[in-house]
Amino acid sequence: MLKSINIRKCSILDLEKLKELELVCFQDHFHENFNFVLKSKNYSYFLAEEVGRIVGYAGASILYDESELQYIATLPSLRRNGIAKALMAVLVEDLIKKGVNKMYLEVKEDNAPAISLYKKLGFIIYNVRKKYYGDKDAIVMVKLLK
Ligand SMILES: CC(C)(COP(=O)(O)OP(=O)(O)OC[C@H]1O[C@@H](n2cnc3c(N)ncnc32)[C@H](O)[C@@H]1OP(=O)(O)O)[C@@H](O)C(=O)NCCC(=O)NCCS
């Protein structure tokens, strides 16, 4: 990962910058209710920053000993620098501290970069939800954290 990148927990003060990053990373529509998830104990969100600007984020929901990855994204110009991998490592460490032992995620079948990332991190395919995204399937993946 780039040496100048720092990973830290998201705060409600990051709200506007996170929304801006999300719009750049997911051009199709606005996804996350940051105002809710950043205040809730049932979610864990981390961001990557480089000299004051947010360049990536990852967040997961927590339900007892299970978690579901909500979103992960890296600024397009800084992709393939290990930022998502570093975000996931810190997120998973936090989830384990909170008692999570199994993590799920869902990804569109044609999202090759994300599927490749998840496989590299040890997630395996658990289920396929046919035509979940209209014409595209959703791949459900899982990983035992401990
Ligand atoms: C998926 C995404 C988060 C990856 O972020 P990233 O910071 O570029 O990922 P990293 O640099 O940490 O990559 C780690 C590993 O993932 C895999 N990977 C990431 N991008 C890849 C790509 N475009 N093609 C193939 N493999 C890829 C590789 O195995 C990579 O390791 P390597 O670079 O040593 O080969 C990024 O492409 C993104 O923001 N996409 C748009 C948002 C999105 O679709 N999020 C996921 C659904 S919620």
Q: Which residues are catalytic?
A: 106, 118
Environment class of residue 52 by beta-carbon count within 10 Å: exposed (0-12), middle (13-18) or buried (19+)? exposed
State the pLDDT at residue 3.
Answer: 77
Q: How far is the CA of 45 from the centre of ligand 1 (A)?
A: 18
Its domain, for residue 105, covers 5-144
Q: Does residue 83 have its Cβ closer than 6 Å to ligand 1?
A: yes
> According to the model, what pLDDT value does residue 35 have?
85
Q: Is 10 in the pocket of ligand 1 (CB under 6 A)?
A: no
What's the Cα-to-Cα distance from 44 to each of 13, 29, 68, 105, 135, rounded to whole Å? Answer: 15, 22, 10, 14, 31
pLDDT at 29: 60
Instruction: Please give the structure tokens belonging to residue 3.
Output: 């040496």
Summarised one tens digit per residue, pLDDT across range 35-48 is 889 999 999 999 99
Q: What is the pTM of this model?
A: 0.95
pLDDT at 31: 67
Among 7, 25, 54, 74, the mutation site with the greatest number of ligand 1 atoms within 8 A of its Cβ is: 74
**Which residues, given as ranges, of the chain have pLDDT below 50?**
none
For the chain, what is the domain count?
A: 1
Q: Looking at ligand 1, which residue's alpha carbon is closest to its atom 24?
A: 113
Domain containing residue 11: CATH number:
3.40.630.30
